């Protein structure tokens, strides 16, 4: 019974933590990510930037920021491609796509 209670508690906390960012605007998520980067927490910054890019997929600012902080090449490519497809066309973006 104690194990069941711990599992339910952990799941509840997980859902609450995930849902905390649902109501935030993409700009607020971007600002929070900037603060995380200043603290050196790139992984949590990427998660926030990814959510911002998902909420506003046409905004190249969020896609490019997510690409710049992505934890691996696959994630970086996805965000870089989104930025390119939505109009951020410069040599640096093209180089990251190559």
pLDDT on residue 1: 67
- Whether 76 and 63 have beta carbons less than 8 Å apart is answered as no
Residues 6+ apart with CB under 8 A from 55: 25, 26, 29
Could you tell me the domains of the chain?
Answer: 2-97 (1.25.40.10)
pLDDT on residue 10: 63
Instruction: Give pLDDT tens digits along the chain (98 positions).
Output: 667 777 766 666 665 555 555 689 999 999 999 999 999 999 999 999 999 999 999 999 999 999 999 999 999 999 999 999 999 999 999 999 98
């Amino acid at each position: 019974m104690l194990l069941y209670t711990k599992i339910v508690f952990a799941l509840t906390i997980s859902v609450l933590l995930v849902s905390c960012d649902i109501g935030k605007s993409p700009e607020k998520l971007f600002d929070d990510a900037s603060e995380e980067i200043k603290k050196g927490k790139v992984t949590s910054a990427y998660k926030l930037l990814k959510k911002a890019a998902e909420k506003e997929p046409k905004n190249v600012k969020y896609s490019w920021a997510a690409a710049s902080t992505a934890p691996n090449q696959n994630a970086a490519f996805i965000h870089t491609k989104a930025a390119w497809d939505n109009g951020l066309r410069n040599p640096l973006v093209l180089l990251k796509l190559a």
